Structure 1
Amino acid sequence: MGAHSHSDSFSYRPIGKYDFEEFIDMAIRFHNYPAPGLLVGGYMVEEAKRQIPRGVLYEAIAETGWCLPDAVQMLTPCTIGNGWLRVVHHGVYGLVLYDKFTGEGIRVWLDIAKFPKDSEIRTWYLKLRPKIEQDSDRLRHEIGMLGSDILSSGPVKVRKQHLGKRSKGRIVICPGCGEAYPAKDGNVCKICQGNTLYEPMPGMPKGGFLTGSHPEA
């Protein structure tokens, strides 16, 4: 039985101004799937927003790259592209909204100590069973019923060196590949330093983005 079919018998916790079923639909459109981490993340974002003083210009930190950044982007003005959302790969399910000038903010995290015993949430989060054996409908139902009850929060202050507007700095031309890059990265761009993601294949141009070699004339 899915989350939608429970709505006649149960009252799910809203996620900000959205009811739970509405947020599921939003998650499908934005994320392609109503992932449990995204649904939980919605409650996390709204809990942090609730505790941030009204009128504060805030930025965000997501402490994992799994699902949580999308919840931030769906429910706040903070995105990876505009630089107001920073993703740090600490591997924990926590996020921070903080005053962009002072660094003072609120950290919210998924608190294992608050999981009901024998809950599907515990099974999912701790991977006690393979994903194919988990009950996704029951999991969504539990998330919608518990909402922020499985979260904890507390004040934090972001270190000063992490505040302020990000900048590429001076831009120069890479002598290896001929592409423009931030001078602070070194004498050649990072790709020409060997940090390429691509395997050579027929038809691809030979350049720094592949091998670090100078493009052929």
Structure 2
Amino acid sequence: MTETHSDRGELADSESRPRRIGVVEDHESVVIGLEAMLSGHPNLTIAASAPTVPDLLGSGQQLDLVILDLRLADGSSPKSNVEQLRDAGLEALVFTSAEDPYLVRLAAKAGVLGVLRKSEPTATVIAAIDAAANGEQVVTTEWAAAIDGDPGLHDVGLSPRQRDVLALYASGEKAARVASLTGLAPHTVNDYLARIRAKYAEAGRPARTKTDLYKRAVEDGWLPVPKRDNHG
């Protein structure tokens, strides 16, 4: 098909227009901060913001990228939020304090363009948003760590079944209950737990007690970081 002058003009307009950014964030100060950061960047503009993904999608705004916080007041899952955005044809860049490796891992494995810390310098944030708005992957330490595991921790190579057993047992379930939930025989669960402990010991990360196993599961992102008690 021959490209017409009109086609070329529409393409040029698309490439030259500012990229329209949506923000899913329930702290207004963060949105204001992003607006201030991008105020001097002619190619980027915050076009909409909302406290939840459904609210942003319901705004009807045409967007090129969504900046997504992980821990939202509605308690939504990062995986679900990313999937909703992708179903709507939108890519996401995670903008987070990154204090919870479990949430970061959920978002990273759901297929975001990158994971960016809120503590990064302004120039780094702008460059990352600019790249993501153009559909480019934003490779950061947080993003890589979420995919591959914390590089500071030696991977113990648990199988998917062993991870299931670890997550259930370390979260407080008794071995008999883990057996019931997984469909495994009780002696198989105990054998798995022994192997899990052995693997952590071999990696230099001993897990002799149930509390130790809980700590290892949190470190590796198999269980969420416990929420802080704001009243304590």
TMscore range, shorter length:
under 0.3
TM-score in terms of structure 1 length: 0.27
Q: Which has the higher contact order (CA 8 A, sep 6+)?
A: 1
Point out the structure with the larger strand share.
Answer: 1
TM-score in terms of structure 2 length: 0.26
